[in-house]
Amino acid sequence: MRALMSVTPGGPETLELREMETPVPGKGQALVRIHAAGCNFPDTLIIKDLYQFKPKRPFAPGGEAAGVVEAVGEGADERLVGQRVATSVGAFGGYATHALVDAGMVMPIPEELPFDVAAGFIMTYGTSYYALKDRAKLQRGETLVVLGAAGGVGSAAVELGKAMGAKVVACVSSESKAKFCRALGADETIVYPRELDRDASKLLAGAIKEKTGGGADVLYDPVGGAYCEPALRAMAWEGRYLVVGFPAGIPNPPLNLTLLKSCQIMGVFWGAAVMRDPAGHAQNMGEITTMMKEGTLKPRITKTFPLEEGAEALKLLEGREATGKIVLTMG
């Protein structure tokens, strides 16, 4: 098998393509021949030892993939062999031609669903649906504001918010990204600068209040940094602020704002939630799959790279240049 491996802590340029022995599935495991792997911002963190999980090196980043089951271990359903599947690989292991996964985490996919699309929805839609449904309990008719709305989890949140009946305001860093979000179904868009000073921060808070008619019932934040405080200032009474990620840095918001708004700040750790509640995860993925079949959700795969160019894919994510979903293909 081939794998793009992290051999030392560092950026995408430190990854090495290696030939390795194909693993054998153990008890309860399935060996998946990967055809496509989804790229996500946490992949840029885990190779720098900045993620919640710090695997022993060498390891391949990548948490989601799609392919064909080649073998199963003791206790796993032998009927899985030969099936086309999408799967959560865990925190790492997807940037490879083969991966061992928990057999209970593989999800058969229909022939008409391409591998690149199947590889690109588990983590982004799983994270966003868990955030909006289970954490914020988003209700029909509420206002949802999404920061970083053109990225992987952000664009999934826009689509899911609309599917759940919310008014969605997409906040992005360029007009081209705003156009992308309007195509996803966003009701309103806000273009903010890539760097916020005090004046720009006030303008962002004011724009969110204006577009939402007074404040956000739910605010989905996969960006962090200087964008947190103006967004928190634009919360509605008893609003729910979802903390999803920190590509712009870990913020230190003034907590008096939560008192003034009587609002909540909620952490969203989807990976841990999957491990703690696999049945809830399975139910959510089933509901997401149904929405995809009905055409309510349409994952946008905007760029694909071959495995050997995986570092270039991660550089796009690192630079916050990506729209929609980026996927690696294995050939």
* Ordered domains of the chain (ranges, CATH): 2-120+300-329 (3.90.180.10), 123-270 (3.40.50.720)
Distance CA 198, CA 202 (A): 6
The 8-class DSSP code of residue 268 comes to -
Q: Is pLDDT above 90 for 260?
A: yes
Q: What is the pLDDT of residue 30?
A: 97
**Residue 250, C-beta contacts closer than 8 angstroms, at least 6 positions apart:** 224, 225
What is the distance between the alpha carbons of residues 37 and 34, in angstroms, rounded to a whole number?
A: 7
DSSP 215-248: -EEEEEES--GGGHHHHHHTEEEEEEEEE---TT
Spatial contact of 63 and 42, defined as CB atoms under 8 Å apart: yes
C-beta of residue 87 within 8 angstroms of C-beta of residue 235: no
CB atoms within 10 A of CB 251: 17
Predicted TM-score (pTM) of this structure: 0.90
Please report, rounded to a whole number, the percentage of residues in the chain having pLDDT higher than 70: 100
Alpha helices in 56-190 (DSSP H): 115-119, 122-129, 152-163, 175-184
- Render pLDDT for 167-224 as a digit per residue (tens, 0 to 9): 999 999 999 999 999 999 999 999 999 889 999 999 999 999 999 999 999 999 999 9
Q: Give dist(CA 237, CA 279) in Å, integer.
A: 33
CA distance 206 to 224: 18
Of 44-53, 183-192, 226-235, the poorest mean pLDDT is in 44-53
Asked if 17 and 97 touch (Cβ cutoff 8 Å), the reply is: no
